[in-house]
Chains A and B, each alone.
Chain A
C-alpha cells in the first residue's frame, strides 16, 4: 500500500465548516431578494447602479490586493460591500457616485486600516456617508417606484423627508406620521390603500407601502418584508443573532413611542413608530449594517449595549437632529464605542460567581 499523506495537526479535528467566505456570500444571498425588488420597483437603471457598485468594489479590492500581495476577492467581502453600497444608492444616482463610494469604502475604510477584520467602521456605511455629505443633492433625489407614479419622476421626497419638512408647521400639530403624509397628499399605492381600507384604516396605507416596499428610497432599503426575510435566513443559518437588531429596533421603538409625539405637540406615549420602523433604511441598517461582525462587539452583552446605543442615537438624530442619515450616523457613532465596549464588557467566566451560588445552594440544601 502506498503510504498515504497523513495530516498531523492540533485538535480539534472537526470543523463546523463555515468559512469567512461562506458567511459573506450568505449575507449577499440574504440581501438579494430586497436588491432584486429594488430593480423591479425602479427599473433597469437600478440594476445598473448595483452592478457598477459591485464591480467597482471588487476591482478596487483586487488592485489593492495586488499592491499588498493578498488575494482576497474570493472571501466575498468586497462583493458584499459593493452590494450594500449599491443598495444604499438612490436608483437614479449618477454612476460616478457609487464608484466613488466604493473606492472610499474599500480603500479608506478598510485597506488603510489593514484589510478585512481590522476596520473599525463598516466600509459600505463609510462609503455611503462619504458620498452623502459630498453630494448631498444627488443623494437626496429619489424616484418613486413604479407602483405609485412614473419611474421618471425624480426628486420626490421620501416619506421621512416629507414628514420632516412638515414637522413644526402649525397645520400638522397633533398629527401622527401617517396623518401628516395624508395632509400633504403624499402618494400611496393602490395596494396600500386597499389593504388599509379592508382593515378599516387601522393601519395606514403608508405603513403598508413601507412594509411591502412600495415606496421611494434607496434602491435596496424599501422592502421591509424582504429584508426581514433575509435577516431570518441569516438567523436560521446562525450567521447573525437577534441581539443587535432587536435591541436597536426595540430601543428605537420604545423611545419613539414615548417621546416621538412631543415634537409636534402631542403628549408622551403618543409617538407613532411603526411607519418609522419600516422606512428610511431602518431595516437594512438594523439587520445588515449594524450586525457587521467586524465592527460590532463579540460578546452577547456587548451586542446588547451596542444595539441599544444605536437605537438611542437613531431616535435622537431622526427626531431632534437636523441631519438626515440617522441610522448610518448612529451606527458609526456606536462603532467608535466598540473597542471600549470590548474592553469592559467581558463574558461571564465559568466558575466566577461560584461563591454566591454555592452558599445559596447549600443554604437551600
Chain B
C-alpha cells in the first residue's frame, strides 16, 4: 500500500460528507435583483467607500478603497444603482458598512479577455493583484498582495498550493481543480512569476483522486514545474502549519509565518482568483460557493457574485427542508453559525451549510473526565483541558503562558470531547479577554 504523507501530531477524521456536492458541476446563479456588498470582506481594516448613495455602478467598478497596509479594495460585481449604504452583520459577526445595490435588470455583456502577462515583473503582478482586490478565498481572507510581498532578507523556497479543502461538506476548490484545472495552474504560475520559488507543490488529500489525476495530467501536458502531492486525509490539513508539515516537513515556529520557514501558501480558490485578476484583469467579484448540508434539497456548487444574499442561494437549491437547525458560513469545523438569511456572501465564503442534526449532537456538558482526547487530537500540541480550566477560573495570564495564542480554533478538541465541553468557545473567549 502506498503511504501518503500527512502531518504527525493530532488531528481528527470527521465524516467528510463531500459526496453530497462533489459530483455537482459548478453552476452560475442567475443575477439576483439585489446585492449587499460589504466593505469588510477581508482581514484587516475595512475599505473606505468610494461611492455614495444614488450613484450608478458599472461591472467591476471600484467601490471601496483599501484603507491600510492590511486591507483590500472592493468592486461592484454588477451594473446597478446604490440604493443604500448601511451597516450589516456578516456571518462571522463582523459589523461593517455595505452597499445595497439594486441590480439593473438588463446587465451589459462584459467579456473579460485574456491579456498577456508573461512580461510582467513581480511588482507589477502584485500591484494588479492588489488593484483587483484579491484576498485569500479559503476563509481567512488575508489580502493576497500583502502575502506576495516577500519581506526583505527572506525568500520563497517553496510555493505550496493548498488543494486540501479539509473541512467536511466543502467542494468548491475540488470543483475548481476539476473544471478550471488550467486556470488554477496558470494562477499558480503567475504567483510563481511574482515570488520566484525554488519549487512548487500542490497538496491534495487523496479523497479527491480525480482532482489529483486531472492536475497531474495538466501539469505534465503543459510542462509546469509543479509537483502534485497526494496527502492522507486528516483534518485540519488545510491549515497552513499542518500543510507545510505534511508537504515540506517544516514546522512554523509559534507566532511566526510561513515565510519564516521559506514557504508561501496559497489555496486553489485564491490561485484561480489570481489568474482572473492578472490574466483577465477581472476583479474578485464572484466566487464558487458550496451550498450543502443534510437540510438542503439539492446541494450545489454555485458560482455567484460577492454580495449575494444567502436566501437567494438557498432558493436556487430548492430551499431548505422543513426542519433545519443551523446555518453555517464556511465549514462545520471552523465556520460561523448565523441566523439571518439576508446575510451576504463575501470573498471568503467557501460554503453555506444548512444542517439538521444539531439537536442530536447537542449533548449536555458534563464534567471533564480527563480522558486526554483533546490533548491527543490538538494539532498544536496544546492541552485544551487545562487551558479551558484556567480560562474558566479567569486565569488568562496563565493560559497565555501555556500558549493559548497558538490555538487556531480548529475545533478538533471540542469535536472529540466526550464531556461536550465547549472548548473552542472557551479558547476564543480566553484569547479575547487575555489579550487586554
Given known contacts A17-B361, A350-B251, A354-B251, is B337 in contact with A9 (CB within 8 Å)?
A: yes
- Chain A residue with the shortest CB-CB distance to B335: A11
With A and B bound together, what is the CA distance between A194 and B214 in angstroms? Answer: 64
Interface size on A, residues (CB 8 A): 47
Q: Is B367 in contact with A115, judged by CB distance below 8 angstroms?
A: yes
Given known contacts A348-B381, A352-B381, is B366 in contact with A357 (CB within 8 Å)?
A: no
- Chain B residue with the shortest CB-CB distance to A18: B418
Measured between beta carbons, the chain A residues less than 8 angstroms from B419 are: 19-20, 117
Partner pick for A5 among B325, B383, B385, B416, CB 8 A cutoff: B325
Given known contacts A6-B327, A7-B326, A20-B419, is B381 in contact with A361 (CB within 8 Å)?
A: no
Q: State the Cβ distance, A190 to closest chain B Cβ, in Å.
A: 44
Given known contacts A17-B361, A293-B370, A350-B9, is B336 in contact with A11 (CB within 8 Å)?
A: yes
Measured between beta carbons, the chain A residues less than 8 angstroms from B261 are: 354, 358
Measured between beta carbons, the chain B residues less than 8 angstroms from A355 are: 253
Q: Is B254 in contact with A19, judged by CB distance below 8 angstroms?
A: no
The answer to the question of B180 belonging to the interface, with a C-beta cut-off of 8 Å to chain A, is: no
20 example contacts (A-B, Cβ-Cβ < 8 A) are as follows A7-B358, A7-B362, A8-B339, A10-B428, A14-B332, A14-B415, A15-B363, A16-B14, A16-B416, A23-B371, A116-B367, A298-B375, A298-B385, A350-B251, A351-B252, A351-B254, A351-B256, A354-B252, A358-B251, A358-B261
Q: Is A357 in contact with B251, judged by CB distance below 8 angstroms?
A: yes
The answer to the question of A69 belonging to the interface, with a C-beta cut-off of 8 Å to chain B, is: no
Q: State the Cβ distance, A130 to closest chain B Cβ, in Å.
A: 23
Q: Is A293 in contact with B371, judged by CB distance below 8 angstroms?
A: yes
Measured between beta carbons, the chain A residues less than 8 angstroms from B326 are: 6-9, 13
With A and B bound together, what is the CA distance between A6 and B328 in angstroms? Answer: 11
Measured between beta carbons, the chain A residues less than 8 angstroms from B428 are: 10
With A and B bound together, what is the CA distance between A217 and B37 in angstroms? Answer: 75
User: Which residues in window 101-115 of A have CB below 8 A to B?
Assistant: 115
The answer to the question of B241 belonging to the interface, with a C-beta cut-off of 8 Å to chain A, is: yes
Measured between beta carbons, the chain B residues less than 8 angstroms from A1 are: 322
Report which B residues bind A (CB closer than 8 A).
9, 12, 14, 168, 241, 245, 249-254, 256, 261, 322-328, 332-339, 353, 355, 358-359, 361-363, 366-372, 375-376, 378-383, 385, 403, 406, 409, 411, 414-416, 418-420, 422, 424-425, 428
Given known contacts A117-B368, A298-B371, A349-B403, is B323 in contact with A4 (CB within 8 Å)?
A: yes
Q: State the Cβ distance, A253 to closest chain B Cβ, in Å.
A: 25
Q: Is A118 in contact with B363, judged by CB distance below 8 angstroms?
A: no
With A and B bound together, what is the CA distance between A17 and B373 in angstroms? Answer: 13
Measured between beta carbons, the chain B residues less than 8 angstroms from A353 are: 251
With A and B bound together, what is the CA distance between A7 and B362 in angstroms? Answer: 10
Q: Is B422 in contact with A10, judged by CB distance below 8 angstroms?
A: yes
Given known contacts A5-B325, A298-B372, is B381 in contact with A23 (CB within 8 Å)?
A: no
Measured between beta carbons, the chain B residues less than 8 angstroms from A201 are: none
Measured between beta carbons, the chain B residues less than 8 angstroms from A299 are: 372, 375, 383
Measured between beta carbons, the chain A residues less than 8 angstroms from B12 are: 16
Q: Is B251 in contact with A351, judged by CB distance below 8 angstroms?
A: yes
Q: State the Cβ distance, A119 to closest chain B Cβ, in Å.
A: 10
Partner pick for A13 among B249, B355, B366, B406, CB 8 A cutoff: B355
The answer to the question of A123 belonging to the interface, with a C-beta cut-off of 8 Å to chain B, is: no
- Chain B residue with the shortest CB-CB distance to A116: B367
| Residue among A12, A293, A296, A354 with max Cβ neighbours from chain B (10 Å) | A12
Q: State the Cβ distance, A60 to closest chain B Cβ, in Å.
A: 18
Q: Is A13 in contact with B375, judged by CB distance below 8 angstroms?
A: no
With A and B bound together, what is the CA distance between A4 and B358 in angstroms? Answer: 13
Measured between beta carbons, the chain B residues less than 8 angstroms from A8 are: 326, 337-339
- Chain A residue with the shortest CB-CB distance to B9: A350
Q: Is A20 in contact with B333, judged by CB distance below 8 angstroms?
A: no
Partner pick for A300 among B253, B337, B376, CB 8 A cutoff: B376
